[in-house]
């Protein structure tokens, strides 16, 4: 499993390790790793034109020492300083190896540019002349390799406030940084290579982990299975007018491995769901009939909210689901209801999973949507703590938080998912996994992974409809070992 640590933890681990090692050892390890990756990217090191963008801190030092190593192998290495200070020992080493100082115009003809402007010490929008150098590097036809973090990307959050380097490869040291996994920063990194500088033993538990295929372990049927033991998921969705979300959520559950799907709603929604998913067992209720939920029969998890509406009738159904002692996933309109009735959350003994997009989370936290999108990690953590739930924040990077646990980052998915209805599919899918007995955080992470995988398989570079994601769920399950 790939994981990341925030900057303060990286610095503390580095300090502990530095205390036991001769001065400069870590920077040499970092530079050696960076130079090796650069060399592997060049058809030939000898005679290659390499430009170093050198900021005023140790990130620039890394770039200079990597440049020294490439110069010793015959590369023509030019350092372009951006700061008022340039790592003195690094610069001396580069010059001694045959490198030289140059100006920004040399970026345009470089075979490879090493971005050593800012690393974990960067903060806020890049100032001039850093920003101009980053902009120029983004226009060069040569390869761009970011040292530790693409400059302009906030290492902790992935936030990009102004100009930021767009790297082909990012070579990061010791451990990943969360901002390398979270958009918009993640999209600036290209391929991320981790260089081991011996930090491992000094590092505490990670702040963030990336779900890998081995971490996705949906419940599988065995010889003893029957439909009830595999898990019954109840879905409360749709209304008099809106029926599409109900169909999509039910489809996510049917193909998500539920033993049975119980669908509970008003007559028009039930009629449409029955036509599309004869597999679902349906119960017709009057609007807001909370008692109808209990009468629908026993379930191991509820999904409540897609297309439900946001009025009193919807609120009664959300309250009824949350009043049960089984895991409950609240999505879409259910979240809008919750934002007005936060009193429904405390006091639950069974797990609650909330699956907001940034707008829904903004309502739940009384926060600004743009701020949530810029600092997704911080907000998803805050939501999990304040709402005492497992919170899955949807969007270009899906993050999943539960109090006291590393935040899970979902690596699958595609921007083709940004189309109406795909979130409804996700709610049913995670509901099925919850009903199958998965813990809330694992179910949410597995659901996000399979949903994103299904979308990639279905889209394959072309527009996607939410129904296509349902259709590709079986193929997504098959990508996992052991299914």
Ligand X SMILES: Nc1ncnc2c1ncn2[C@@H]1O[C@H](COP(=O)(O)OP(=O)(O)O)[C@@H](O)[C@H]1O
Return binding residues for K(+).
59, 115, 151
115 binds, among ligand NAX, K ion, ligand X, none (CB under 5 to 8 A by kind): K ion
Q: Which residues are annotated as a binding site?
A: 58-62, 115, 119-125, 130, 148, 151, 245, 307, 357, 394-398, 423-424
**For residue 330, which phi and psi values (nearest 5 degrees)?**
-110, 130
Place of tokens 């743009």: 370
Three-state DSSP at 111 gives coil
β-partners of residue 407 are 208
- Cβ distance to ligand X smaller for residue 79 or 441: 441
- State which of residues 13, 52, 55, 320 lies at the interface with ligand NAX (CB under 6 A): 55
Three-state DSSP at 257 gives coil
- Cβ distance to K ion smaller for residue 115 or 207: 115
**At its nearest, how many Å lie between ligand X and the CB of residue 252?**
10
Q: Report yes or no: 256 and 483 within 8 Å, Cβ to Cβ.
A: no
DSSP assignment letter at 126: P
Site string for ligand X, 314-333 (x = CB under 6 A): ------------------x-
E runs forming strands in 138-256: 143-147, 169-173, 191-195, 208-210, 232-236
- How many whole angstroms separate alpha carbon 433 and alpha carbon 217? 10
126 binds, among K ion, ligand NAX, ligand X, none (CB under 5 to 8 A by kind): ligand NAX
Question: How far is CA 388 from each of CA 113, 153, 373, 385, 401, rounded to the nearest angstrom?
Answer: 46, 30, 21, 5, 10
- Cβ distance to K ion smaller for residue 188 or 456: 188
- Cβ distance to ligand X smaller for residue 29 or 451: 451
- State which of residues 86, 138, 151, 282 lies at the interface with K ion (CB under 5 A): 151
**At its nearest, how many Å lie between ligand X and the CB of residue 242?**
11
- Cβ distance to ligand X smaller for residue 66 or 426: 426
β-partners of residue 262 are 234, 281
Contact call for residue 115 and K ion (CB under 5 A): yes
Q: Report yes or no: 251 and 275 within 8 Å, Cβ to Cβ.
A: no
Q: Report yes or no: 185 and 158 within 8 Å, Cβ to Cβ.
A: yes
* Near ligand NAX in 101-160, by CB under 6 A: 118-127, 130, 147-148
- Cβ distance to ligand NAX smaller for residue 115 or 442: 115
Residue 331 falls in which region: left (phi positive, over 0), alpha (psi -120 to 50) or beta: beta
426 binds, among ligand NAX, K ion, ligand X, none (CB under 5 to 8 A by kind): ligand X
- State which of residues 72, 73, 83, 102 lies at the interface with ligand NAX (CB under 6 A): 83
**At its nearest, how many Å lie between ligand NAX and the CB of residue 10?**
8
Contact call for residue 303 and ligand X (CB under 6 A): no
């Amino acid at each position: 499993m790939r994981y990341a640590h925030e900057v303060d933890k990286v610095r503390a681990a580095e300090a502990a390790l530095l205390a036991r090692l001769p001065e400069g050892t870590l920077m040499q390890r970092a530079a050696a790793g960076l130079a090796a990756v650069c060399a592997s990217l060049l058809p030939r090191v000898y005679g290659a034109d390499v430009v170093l963008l050198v900021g005023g801190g140790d990130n620039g030092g890394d770039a200079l020492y990597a440049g020294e190593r490439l110069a010793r192998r015959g590369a023509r290495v030019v350092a372009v300083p951006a700061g008022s200070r340039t790592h003195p020992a690094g610069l001396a080493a580069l010059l001694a190896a045959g490198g030289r100082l140059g100006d920004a115009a040399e970026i345009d003809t470089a075979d490879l540019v090493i971005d050593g402007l800012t690393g974990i010490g960067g903060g806020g929008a890049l100032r001039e002349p850093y920003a101009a150098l980053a902009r120029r590097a983004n226009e060069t036809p040569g390869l761009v390799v970011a040292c530790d973090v693409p400059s302009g990307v906030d290492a902790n959050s992935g936030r990009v406030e102004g100009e930021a380097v767009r790297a082909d490869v990012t070579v990061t040291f010791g451990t990943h940084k969360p901002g390398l996994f979270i958009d918009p920063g993640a999209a600036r990194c290209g391929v991320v290579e981790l260089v081991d500088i011996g930090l491992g033993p000094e590092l505490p538990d990670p702040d963030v982990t990336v779900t890998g295929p081995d971490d996705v372990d949906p419940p599988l049927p065995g010889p003893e299975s029957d439909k009830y033991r595999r898990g019954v998921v109840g879905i409360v969705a749709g209304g008099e007018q809106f029926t599409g979300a109900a169909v999509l959520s039910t489809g996510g559950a049917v193909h998500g491995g539920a033993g049975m799907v119980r669908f509970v709603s008003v007559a028009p929604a039930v009629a449409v769901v029955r036509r599309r998913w004869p597999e679902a067992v349906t119960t017709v209720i009057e609007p807001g009939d909370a008692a109808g939920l209990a009468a629908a029969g026993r379930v191991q998890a509820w999904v409540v909210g897609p297309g439900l509406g946001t009025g009193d009738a919807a609120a009664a159904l959300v309250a009824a689901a949350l009043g049960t002692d089984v895991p409950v996933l609240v999505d879409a309109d259910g979240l809008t209801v919750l934002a007005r009735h936060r009193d429904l959350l405390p006091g639950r003994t069974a797990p609650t999973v909330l699956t907001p997009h940034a707008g829904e989370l903004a309502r739940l936290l009384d926060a600004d949507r743009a701020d949530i999108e810029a600092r997704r990690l911080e907000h998803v953590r805050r939501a999990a703590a304040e709402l005492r739930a497992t919170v899955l924040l949807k969007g270009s990077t899906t993050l999943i938080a539960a109090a006291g646990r590393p935040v899970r980052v979902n690596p699958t998915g595609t921007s083709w998912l940004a189309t109406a209805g795909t979130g409804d599919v996700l709610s049913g899918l995670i509901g099925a996994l919850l009903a199958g007995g998965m813990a809330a955080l694992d179910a949410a992470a597995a659901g996000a992974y399979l949903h994103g995988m299904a979308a990639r398989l279905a889209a394959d570079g072309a527009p996607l409809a939410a129904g296509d994601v349902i259709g590709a769920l079986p193929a997504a399950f098959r990508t996992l070992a052991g299914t």
